[in-house]
Each structure stands twice: as structure tokens, then as C-alpha cells.
Structure 1
Amino acid sequence: MSDQAGTTQGGFWTDATGERTVDRYSTLVNMVDDGIYQLDAEGRFVAVNDAIVSLTGYAREELLGKHASTVIDDEDVSRIQREIYQRFTDGDREGEPLEFTARMADGETIPCELELHLLVEDGTFQGTIGVVRDIADRKQTEQEFREHELELFRTLLNHSNDSVLVVDPETGRYLDVNDTACERRGYSREEFLDLTVMDLETEIPDQEAWRSFVEELRAEGQLTFDGHHRRKDGTTYPVEVNTSYVDLDKEYVLAIARDVTKRREYERYLEDAKSQLEAATEAGAVGTWEWHIPEDEMVVGTSFARTFGIEPEVASEGVPLDQFIEAIHEDDRKRVEVAIEEAVETCGDYEEEYRVWDADDNLRWVVARGHVECDDGEPVRFPGALTDITKRKRAELKLQQNNEQLETLFEVLPVGVVVAEADGQIIQANDIAHEIWGGDVFDAESVEEYEQYPVWDAESGERVQPDEMTLARVVNGEEVLDPDIYEIEAVDGERRVIRLEGMPVRDEHGEVTRGVATLTDITDRREAQRALEESERRYRTLVENFPNGAVGLFDDNLRYTAVGGQLFDRLDYDPEDRIGYRFTELHTPDLVEELEPHFRAALDGEASTFEIEYQGRYLHAHTLPVRDADDEVYAGMLVIRDVTERREYERMLEESNDRLEQFAYAASHDLQEPLRMVSSYLQLLERRYDDDLDEDGQEFLEFAVDGADRMREMIDGLLKYSRVETRGDPFETVSLDDVLTEVCDDLQVMIQESNAEITTEDLPRVEGDHGQLRQVFQNLLDNAIEYSGDDPPRIYIDAERDGDQWLVSVEDNGVGIDPEDTDRVFEVFQRLHARGEHAGTGIGLALVERIIERHGGDVWVESDPGQGSTFSFTLPVASDFET
């Protein structure tokens, strides 16, 4: 064989003896399913059988003489060479089969298994013989089996009560978690796999801590520790964590975390119980006694003696029983004595619960247990133990008081309450529950017996079966926090609408022991709700048909809940497109900035009025609060009227007034010149021809002069009237006291001649035109003196605050005015008296009205003939006025 090792022909078969034997052996080799080959010492093919040719897809001539790496994956070539070298070094010619990847002529790869045999002669390596098997099917089967095992393993993990987490040791990122971990932490699997240990674990806050932990785990292989897991909502719970460092296809950290919440609670419970027991023992809560009956000596422990108010040193030497009996509460003493006597007579057991006064005169509850020992029927010893149960009794008394209070509360609650056992047995119902349903409905044996009492779903009107009702669901463990609304037919035949809620009562194991349901009669409320809905429908109808405007109702989130009105017929959107949206989402930022303060003010209970321009239209807007029956603001309302046409009319009216004022000014101004000429010529005639004129001529001349004078006065008055708006001064803070003083100075001669008396209170400061207000007072005082009648004028002036205005009154004792003429006196050139009776042009009060209107106020007169007159007008409060 060694002679053939270095050739490239089929010498592999010529080592056999006899040509026929070689042929048969060759045939046998080519018939087997496994591939067989021989390599020389350099790794070149010396011989291959048909299976190798079929497996690789190369012709035999293409393989012979080629290096084995032609058909072996690059990653496996060096590994097989190392294995050959190792076996040659160790003298192991066979060894375990090797797996490798064979590369085909078409570039495909196939997983194979190789049984390798080394050819060695005289310690020299001559080559190898190998048997190759295609293990693709086996690998596929193994892969499917592994996947099946993996799925089975994952199913088992997901049903585990422990959290299982697989973590990348380098980054700390979670690679896989089971369902238990997701449920306990509150994350979905996708959310979990986006997180790292540092995101969730309280004990490993950063990357440095994680690296330190991984290093320790890699060194130890496994670590167990207690910690806390953080849930998605930020809460934590205690866990016991077992971690392992696993090296499979790559390295992993495997953590199995067990929720030990209940165990920790139990440990705390045991610790508390232990502490309580130790405290009770230290406080002498448990004591012992032994009564030597023939000698009547009670030998007791320290805590026993202290409980009965006896010095421990005395009690240790023996004390008569009566001394202990005396410490027992007088109401319990006789009963205890009888029980002791009975135990002694029968040589039996003894157990009594009673009260005793201790050394500090505190009353304590104890329970004593013992047994009388007899000798030949004679009682000789009576040992026993005493336990202090004061705390328990106090707790029982407190519990009893609580139960009594609960019972009282049960009866005085403003709702009906029904309690049922877990089996459905109704055990209690308060008076209100009986009143709601009527009669003795709750005397039924169980909730299942309610078949006889009709119940309907208040919304759908469908009949509700007994096992579907609230109390039946509650005793089955359901929490009914979203109220059930039923319509019932009470025992008295009356239909009522009730609301039911319920909660199961569970024991420490989570088992339902009872169910509690509450009943509230909401019949009146439902009727009120229907009435409210009907009112709201009417309101919406009004809103939708609001004339020449729009109405919007908005909630405290500034969201429109109702919108309508005829204004939308002129706009390019539907009111329904507004409902459900915040006004900030519907309007431009500038309009939002203008509207929001008014909307907020309405929700704060304040009404406001303003004007806006929207889509080329002028709108007069009013916001106001909407209140409920308790006068609480629960919404706001926006009312809008389209004043576009009115604004246009006002503009036209203003232009007309401007033209009229210009005309009046021009006319009055232009009339001055011919009037002056007439007056001048009349005066010239009077000077030159006065002596030549007879009495009639002189009278005629006087009439002409007087007419010219009156015409000049009327023109002056008309000129002042036309200039009220255009020639007035800007408004400023004006002291009415100062104005009145100036007017009185101007009218001083008239006041003295008429013997007028003017009385005034302190007058306020107002916002106005000083000169025009002076004209107002001058005209009113002039009229009051002029029309005073036969008596000296008596004038009284005062003012009072009315919101943001002052109400000023000028009262006189003059001739008065017929009520039918109180409006006419403010018209231009209107006179109530002949000129011979009183002088004047009839324009003074019209000028007063015009000035007051310019100041945003009103003026009126209250009078009766012969009773004097009171002229009143309003003026705005000065901006710097302090309340």
C-alpha cells in the first residue's frame, strides 16, 4: 500500500492479491452508499469511489490528483488538518467521526460526516483513507427535532411561574424573555427586547455595574441573589434571582427570577409574630401556677404574681389561694370560685376567662387553664398556666363596637345595600333596599329566586335574567364598578329605575366569601335627565335657527359642543364642522388671541361684549357663563350678531351727519354776514331817523332790531350745536366742583339779581370735555333761574355713583314742566313759553343733550307743573378715580 501512496492512478485497488479479487473489491467499494477516498501525504486524491463522484458532482478524472480542499469548505480544511496532525502525534489512527461541509462542483454545500483512517508505515505518514456520508437528511431531522424541542422548551418556559430572561453579556440587552416576565413587568415582548438590564434592574444602574457583575458571574459560573424588579409603571416587587453563564453558539447570561412577594410577607408575618411573642413573654403575658391543695399554698411564676398584684418574692414562698381570688373582678369572682371547686371535687380540668386587677390597679383580661391531680381520689396538686388576653379582648370589644357602628352605618347609608353569601344566599338588606324594591323582596332564599321579580335593562329594554343581575355576578367574583342601570317593577307595582354596583368580598386566599351590592333609586334623576335632554333639544333647535347671527356652546376645554344660527347661511362652512373641536383648532392665531380672553372670562363667570371682523363681515359678539341648577358655571356661550349692514348704515349716517354739520356750520356762518348788514342798517335808521318816525314806525323798527338780535342768537346757538362733535376738546379728568364754581362766577349778576340760592354736595371727578361740561351746567342753571316763577330760585345739585358712571342731578323749585312735554324740551328751537314771558332761543337744552350724548351718557327731566324740575344726566367715572 505504501508503494501506491504517492501515485495518482488507481493503485488503491492493486494492493489486493489477484486481479479478480481486486475487481470484486473495487466493485464492492463502488456499490456502497458511502463515499470512500484515499489521499496521499500531501492531501491529494489518489482514489475515489462512485459515491464520491456522485456526491461532489465532479468526474473521477477531475478529482484524482487534486487537493482535498477542492471539495471541502475552507473553514473545515484547517480543522481537519489539525485533527490529522493530532492523531498522528498521539498514534490514534481511527478517532471519532468528524463533521464538515462538502463543497460541490456547482458551488452548493452539503453537511457530511467523515470517518478518517491514517496510513502510517515505519512511523512515516503516508496519507489517509476516509469514508464520507451525506448527513443532510439527518441534519434536517436534527434541526426539526431541535426546533420542536425549542418550541416545547419555550412553551414550558412561558408556563413557568418564574420569569426567565436571556441577556447579552456584552451589552446587557435582553435577547429573550418568557410570558411570565412580560406579564409581571407590564411590557410586551417587543418592548422588553428594546430594553437593557440597566433600564430595569435597580441593583445594576449602569454599564460599569453590569460589566462587574458579568465578570463575577463568568468566574463563578452561577450566582444567586435577592433583589427587586421594576415594573413598567415604576413600582417594584421583591425577587430571588438565579443567574448562570451559558456558552452555546455564543455566550449568554441566563436569569431565572422568582417573585417572592408572598414569601417576604410571610417572613415579615413570622418576624412580627416572633417579636410579639418575645414582647409578650418579656411583659409577663404568660404565667404558671401550682396549688398545693392540702397545704393551701399557691406557688406561682413572676408574671403570674405581678398580674395579681402580689410581690414575686412573696409568691415564690407560697401564698393562700384566697389572696389571688381577692384580685379577681367582683363580677367574675364567684364564677371562678365555683369552677375551681368543681375541678377539685371531680379531679378534672379547669378553664376560665375573667378579669383581674394587677399591681397598678389596671383591669386585665386573663384565661386560666389547669388540671387537678388526685392521689387515691384525694386532690393533692393543681398546676396550671395563665395567659394575658387583654389585647385580644380589647380588640374583640373594639371589633364589636366597629360591627355595631357598621351595622348602624349599614342602616343609615343613603343607598340600598344587599349582602349575599358566596352560594347566593341573601343574608342582609337594609331598609332603603327594601323601600326601593318594596315589600320583603330580599327575604328570598337566594339571588336565583328573583325570577319572579321583573327586571329590564334600562337602555335596551330587554329582560334581565337572575344569573345576569349584579349581585349574582358579584358572588361569582366579578367587580361591577361600571354601574348596571335596571328598570324594575317593585312589589307595589310601581316602575322604578335603579343603579346597581357591587364588589365581591374575598378571604386571605382570594376566595369569594360574600358579595355586596348597592342600590340607588335614580327614577327622578332619569326623569330629570329626560327633561334636560328635551330642553337641550329645544335649545339646539333655537341655536340652529338663531336669527341674523350664530350661537356656540363651549366646555371648559374650549371645545364647541353645540353650534348653529342663520349666520352660517352666509359663511362657507357647516356648523356641524365646528362641533367637537376646540376653537383654537378652527381659527387663525390672531383671532384665537383676540377671542381666548373672552372665552376664559365666561368660564370664570364673567360676561363680556366685543366686536370682531370675520370673513369680511362685522360681528357683534357676547360671551357669557352657562350655569347649572346649583349656580355653578359648567360651560360658556358665544352669541354673535351680524352687524355688517348696521355698520354700513352707521357709516352712511355718520357721513350724513358730517355733511349736515358742515352744512349747519356753513349756513350759520354764511348767515352772519347779511344778518350783520341788516343789524347795521337798522341801527343806522334808528340813529338817523328816530326823531322822524312816528310811534308805529318806532315800534316797527324795534321789532326789526329785536328779530335781528334773536336771529343772531339762534344762529350762534345752531353754530354751537353743530360743533359739539367736531370742535370739542379731548376728554380728560374734570372736577365738576371746579366747573360749577366757574359757572357760578359767570352767572354772578343773574344770581344776585334773582336772589338765587344754590346748594351743592361734593361733586366728583369725571372723564369729559371741561368746556362743554361748563356749557351744560351754565344752560341748566340759567334755565333754573329763568323759570323760577315768583319765588326766589332754590337750586340743589348732587351726584351719586352708579357702577362706572356718575348720576348728576340739578333740582329747582321753578314753574315745572308738563310730563307730556319732558321729551320735547330737548328738541332744537322748541319753546314751552312765549318769548314775551321768557327769553331764550329754544336751543339750550338741545345743546345739553348733544353734549351729554357725546360723553356717552343720557339726560332726562322729571317734573310736574308748579312743582319744580329735576334735570339728571350721567357721566363716566374718571379713569384715575379710586373706589
Structure 2
Amino acid sequence: MDHERFLEQLPVGVFRSTIDGEYLYVNPALVDLLGADSRDTVIERGSPPFYAEPGSREEFVDALEEQGNVLGHEVRIEQLDGTELWGSMSAWLTTSDGRSIIEGVIEDISERRRIEQESVERERRLQQLMDSTDDALWLFDAEWQETLYINAAYEDIWGQSTESLYDDPKTFLEGVHPEDREAVQEGMATLSAGESAKLEFRVNPDEDFQRWVSVQGSPVVRDGEVIRIAGYTREITDRKREQRDKAAYTASLNEIYEITTDTEREFEQQVDELLTIGADYLGVPYGFLTDIDVAAEAGGDGTQTIVTSVGSHEQLQSGASCPLGESYCRTTIESNDLQAIHDAPAAGWEADPAYERFNLGSYIGGSVYVDGDLEGTVCFAGSAPRDEAFSERERALVWIISQWVSHQREQQRRRKELRQRNERLQQFAYIASHDLQEPLRMVSSYIDLLDSEYGDEFDEEAREYMDFAIDGADRMRNMIDDLLKFARVESEAEQPHSVDPNEAIDDVLDDLQLSIKESDASVTVGELPEVRADPNQLRQLFQNLVANAIDYAGDEPPEIDIDAENGINGVLFTVSDQGIGIPEQQQDNIFQVFTRGTRDDGTDNTGIGLAICQRIVTRHGGDIWVDSEPDEGTTFCFTLPTTEGTA
């Protein structure tokens, strides 16, 4: 195969031309490369028109004349139809018949150039992304001696320049909180040893190390050896603040729960402690509970009075008062909702009478309502404005405290009203029973005298009338005695203390032994734990319930079971029988005074015994209820406080 046939078969373009660009020879591959239909078309056109960029051929020829050859020169080529492609051209300058000849080869590198361009574009976009991200991306050598890459986000997070880190890779440690540096250095050693690391620590001395970051790093390993350390740093200050706030909120709620459920604390002490918790959580120095009198005189103003407070503000001390129009609380009342002012001057309060009087830069308060009537406010305040508005958690905590105060005030009102009603009832019962005793004693005496003097002369009808009179007097005496017992539950009560119920049961069974014997009753007593109670009233309670079970036993001998168990609300006692039961429609009223049941023998009780039981249990802080079905028996249940004092 001769030289020309070899060139004809090469897959790359081969040409020979003059310095001026006149083609002397082109092979088929070059004809295809230039998009021509024949060799003659290419030769007639010459080489200059195929250069897509003006001047690029002149540069190529100049280099060729200067150097004698050009290798791998990349040039844009324009095909006959206008399509551009990239070619890599190598050429040599030779001489033939006294003139300079260019001999060269051209290879289509369009695909390679496209791939390279895409790679460059990807790198550009990646660099753009790395430069624009809020995370600091970094790359160090394995020994932390050279910074290979750091993006601009580092400067904002750390408060240091990227140049300083390139100059000295370990300067970033100066931006780490002193208390966290040891942990960071340990993490660096871990990465250099070939293990990944994740750390959270504080940075940026310019901001007093208030910024928190999360750092994740991984070693770059080649052939089992760490050659690079790569990772990123993400600011997590907001997340840390949220975690701290959530933890503080939860801790405050736990303290509030502990305080508000402690029955040993007085209300005033509970309020003071809640105000302290609220002020600490909100980061303000003052907390106060007010009474509000909105019933102003004609043309006047209502009044705000401080009930109790925490903090040293002179005008926010207990007993201090001011016109309602000069208080911050008036805005809480007017809005009928939580009122929160985090920056009073910015909100236009500087000219307000309340600001002039108290000079408070921040305030938040909730209303206290009792039975729908405004009674006061729970407020927290600071002399300085806050940087940020009160958060939802902060508002919720103030609302919780104000709602609890409202509830407690309502309970206080209920207890006061109940105490007054009980006192009036007790006074009435005592006076009524006491005043009835003397005329009843006189009536009974004359009945007895009449019976003893003239009883033998009574006919059958008169005897029946006399028996009715004697029985009525006896029942009246029993009712008065029970009414006095009802009144004395409060007036003659002992202070509750630790009592063994088994001893009380023994006394009751001794007192009722005649009734037990006559009715052939059986009484079973389980293990009864000690309780805090008035021993006399505990005996009265059991005696009434056991006597009630005997009275309503029915035709069969009474079977009475007394038992108890410790529960979450104290000790739960049960007194059960197998008697006639109580109709459902009577069970709701069974503990009311003068509510009577009817025994099988047709006689009535006084209707006070179970009311006395309820009064005794209530005085001890317990509950009493009944579970009964007609002809299925009855179980009375009641709770009493344990010896630890819980009820």
C-alpha cells in the first residue's frame, strides 16, 4: 500500500495546503468532516472559509511559521451548511519545489468539547451553590495543616474571614467557645483517625458565643489512608433556642403543677410562687395580682389595687392602688383577652398616663373572672422593652396562671357561701332542737302522768290514742336528738388525727350488740387501714351505717360486710348488706336531711342519720355515695384521708 492510499483510508482528516490556504490534497475523512459532497468542492473552496472565527487561521499560520509545527491546536470549524464543530489540528511546515507547504491532520473533538463544557458548567453551578448556601462547607488536609476549601458562609457564622483560615487552618478554634474547644479538638482527632464525627458547639466571639452550630465531618480515604477531611457547618441557633425555650416552658409547667396541687400551701403562698415562676420564665422583674374595681363614681374612674407582687417596683407593692385609667391593666380589661406589649415606647405608650406613672417598657396580663364577673388581673412587666414579642408559650403560661387564679377565687367564693349556709343551718338546727326540747319534755311528762293516773280507766280506743301520743313523743325526741347530732358535727368536732378504724368498729358493735342479737345479724370486718379522722365522728359514721343495714335487712337476718382499701383518693371504705335495697328514684336524695326510708315493720326513721354521715365525710374532705338495687342489697362507699393527709 503506497503512502497516498494509506492517507485515503485514515479516519481523521488529512490535508496539504499552501501558506495562503490553497488545498493541494484532502482525504475523504476531511471531506466528510467539512460536510462537503466531494473532494473538488473542498479544494475549490480552500481552507480559510472553513475557519469559524475570523483571524484564527492567521494566528495558526503565524505560530506554525515561528515554531515549524503546531500540535493539538483547537479551532472552531464551520461546515458548508453553516454547522459549527470543534477540531483538534496538528500541522508541520515543509518545503516542496521551493515553496512552503503545510501538512496536517484534523480530528473532530466536538463531543469531547461538549462533555468538557458540561463539566465546566456543572462545576460553575456547584461553586455557585456552595457560595450561596447558608452552610459553611470546608475541606482540609488530613492533619488540619492546610485549608483546601472554605466558602463565604464561614465568615457570617464564625465572624472570621476566609483569608485568615487559608493562612492558618486552626484559627477557627479561636472562634469556638472556650468551654467547647476541647470537644472540638477531640472531634478533629477522630476525623483524622478515619472516623466520622458530629458535634454541636458555640461560636463567634463577636456575638459573645451566642451562636450554635452543628458540624458534620467525614474523612476522605484512599488506599486505606485518610487524605482529606470534608464536612459542613450549619447554624442551629434558632433550634437551640427553641429547645431551651421548650425545656424552660416544660419545667415551668411542672413547677406550676407541683404548686397548684399542693393542698398544704395557702392560696397567697401559691400565688406568690406562681408570680415568681412567671416572671423568671418571661425574663421580667415584676409580677403582680390586682383587684379591679370598675364600679366608678359618676364622672370618676375605677381603681386598680395590688393584692400581692414580686419585684421591687415601688408602685407595684401590695396595697398600692391607682386610678384604673392610669394602669396598664385597663388594656387587658378592654380587650377581654391577654394583652401583650413587648415594646411600650415603640407602641406609642410614652404619652400614656400609665407609662408616666409606672414607666414600664414591657407588659403582659390576663384577666381574672369569678362567675363571669371581672375581679382582677394577673400581670408581668419589665422596665425595659423586650427585643421580641411575647411568644405563644409565654402567652399560654400567663393564661394558665390567670385561669388558675380565677378558678381558685371561684372556689373560695363557693367555700365561703357554703360555710355561711352551713353556719346558718347549724345555728337553726341547734336553736330549733334546743327550743323544742323543753316543750317536748313537758308534753312527755304530762302524757306519762296521764297514763299513770288514769291509764287503768282507758277503754280500748283511749288506750290506742294514748299509745299514739307516747310513740309520737318518742319519735319527736329521737328526731331532736339526731338534729342536735347533725348540728354538732361542726360545733363539737375534734381535730382529725391518726385513728384505727378497727377500734371504732369494736365500739360500734358493743353499742349495737342488743340490736345485733335481736336481729340475729352477722357482721364481717376486713383489714381496715389507719386514717386521719375525728374518732368520735368516725364511730358515729360507722354506727349510723351499720344500724341502717340492720333496720333495712328485710325478712332474713342481716349480713353486713365492712371492708376498706387504699386508693388514689385516700382510703375507700364499703359497708354492704343483703337487705331490701333502695329504689333508684330515692338514691339521689338519700343523704338529704329528713329524707326517710320505710322499714318492713312500717315504722319511720328520723331521716337524719345518712345526712349526718355525709356531713361527717365531707368535713373530713372525702366523698360518700350509694350503690343499691331493690331486693339486691345496698353498699355505702366513702373515702377518708390517709394518715399522710391526702384525700
Query: What TM-score, normalized to structure 2?
Result: 0.45
Tell which has more relative contact order, 1 or 2 (C-alpha 8 A, sep 6+): 2
Which structure has the bigger radius of gyration?
1
Structure (1/2) with the larger helix percentage: 2
TM-score, structure 1 as length reference: 0.34
